[in-house]
């Protein structure tokens, strides 16, 4: 009975709760973005050099011509499956985002620059596999925020975190927690916030993915220490609405570094 009441309350209050603090981080008038988040799995050697040339000289310029920007390109620093390059493609036009490869195939400038990667022979492929996830930005964080260090090409690292939930209702409650204070807790803790996205298409749903940025690993660890010690975070996480059962069943966390051609 207790569980059923919590689930009923979660569904009944979701719409209201998601707008309670929508203005905490960004203007509520901003159109919400979609993100195609790609994972390029490579082999060490020629593939990595070919991929770097493809991203910097062909793909990212072509995506920008389609109105998709800024493009984030990241290498795995700590995590499984290296070498791997993650590509973050934001856009407010969903049709453009999902048709992107078909649109690229009509771009003669792109095809010329992309030829070595795009048309690599099957016996010498330019990559091993590509995985893609489609996300929609959180209502309270509708647009990707480019770190100030990116414009200056200063040193920075990124933490990519994905939370999987055991049920859809639990997933709703976890998204709700960000809108009920977690954006502000991250800000107070010195954690740079880049994007927050709700998984729409991809593996291991239901899930959400977000990205934080820091100058270095020391700042990352210090930021999380401050976040966990925040009395308001402790109060929120102890709320029976979020603590009566585990609302996150798995956390995937990667530390990434920006590629030299990354726009984020």
pLDDT digits (tens, 9 = 90+) for 211-260: 999 999 999 999 999 999 999 999 999 999 999 999 999 999 999 999 99
Compute the average pLDDT of residues 192-216.
Answer: 97
Q: Tell me, what's the pLDDT at 82?
A: 84
- The lowest-confidence range among 22-31, 169-178, 180-189 is 22-31
Q: Give me the helices (H) in the chain, please.
A: 2-20, 46-54, 60-65, 94-98, 100-104, 108-118, 148-151, 168-177, 183-188, 217-229, 231-238, 240-243
Contacts of 38 (CB under 8 A, 6+ apart): 86, 87, 89, 130, 131, 132
The pLDDT of residue 132 is above 90: yes
Give the model confidence (pLDDT) of 55-93 as tens digits: 999 999 999 999 999 999 999 987 777 899 999 999 999
Q: Tell me, what's the pLDDT at 27?
A: 53
Contacts of 4 (CB under 8 A, 6+ apart): none
Percent of the chain past pLDDT 70, that is, above it, reads 89
Q: Is the dihedral of CA 40, 41, 44, 46 positive or negative?
A: negative
Q: Give me the helices (H) in 21-167, please.
A: 46-54, 60-65, 94-98, 100-104, 108-118, 148-151
Mean pLDDT of the chain: 90
* β-strands 34-41, 157-164 pairing: unpaired
Partners of residue 213 on adjacent β-strands: 158, 192
Compute the average pLDDT of residues 176-199.
Answer: 98
How many Cβ atoms are within 10 Å of 234's Cβ, its own excluded? Answer: 10
Q: Is 74 in contact with 254 (CB distance < 8 Å)?
A: no
Within the chain, how many helices (H) and strands (E) appear? 12, 8
Partners of residue 76 on adjacent β-strands: 256
How many Cβ atoms are within 10 Å of 108's Cβ, its own excluded? Answer: 8
Q: Which two tokens stand for residue 233?
A: 């975070």
For domain 2-258, the CATH architecture is: 2-Layer Sandwich (3.30)
Domain borders along the chain are 2-258
Reduced to 3 states (helix: H, G, I; strand: E, B; else coil), residue 33 is coil
Q: Tell me, what's the pLDDT at 26?
A: 59
């Amino acid at each position: 009975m207790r569980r059923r009441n919590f689930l009923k309350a979660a569904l009944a209050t979701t719409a209201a709760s998601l707008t309670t603090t929508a203005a905490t981080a960004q203007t509520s008038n901003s159109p919400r973005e979609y993100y195609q988040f790609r994972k390029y799995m490579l082999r060490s050697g020629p593939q990595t050099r070919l991929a770097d040339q493809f991203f910097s000289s062909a793909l990212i310029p072509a995506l920008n011509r389609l109105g998709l920007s800024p493009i984030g390109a990241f290498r795995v620093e700590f995590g499984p499956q290296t070498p791997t390059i993650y590509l973050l493609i934001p856009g407010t036009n969903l049709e453009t985002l999902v048709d992107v490869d078909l649109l690229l195939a009509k771009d003669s400038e792109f095809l010329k620059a992309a030829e070595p990667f795009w048309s690599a022979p099957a016996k010498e492929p330019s990559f091993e596999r590509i995985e893609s996830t489609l996300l929609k930005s959180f209502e309270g964080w509708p647009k990707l925020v480019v770190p100030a260090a990116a414009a200056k090409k200063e040193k920075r690292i990124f933490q990519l975190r994905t939370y999987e939930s055991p049920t859809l209702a639990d997933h709703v409650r976890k998204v709700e927690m960000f809108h009920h204070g977690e954006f502000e807790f991250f800000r107070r803790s010195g954690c740079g916030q880049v994007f927050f996205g709700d998984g729409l298409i991809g593996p291991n749903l239901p899930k959400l993915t977000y990205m934080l940025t820091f100058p270095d690993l020391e700042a990352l660890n210090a930021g999380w220490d401050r976040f966990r010690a925040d009395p308001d975070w402790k109060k929120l996480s102890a709320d029976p609405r979020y603590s009566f059962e585990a609302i996150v069943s798995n956390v995937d966390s990667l530390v990434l570094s920006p590629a030299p051609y990354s726009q984020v």
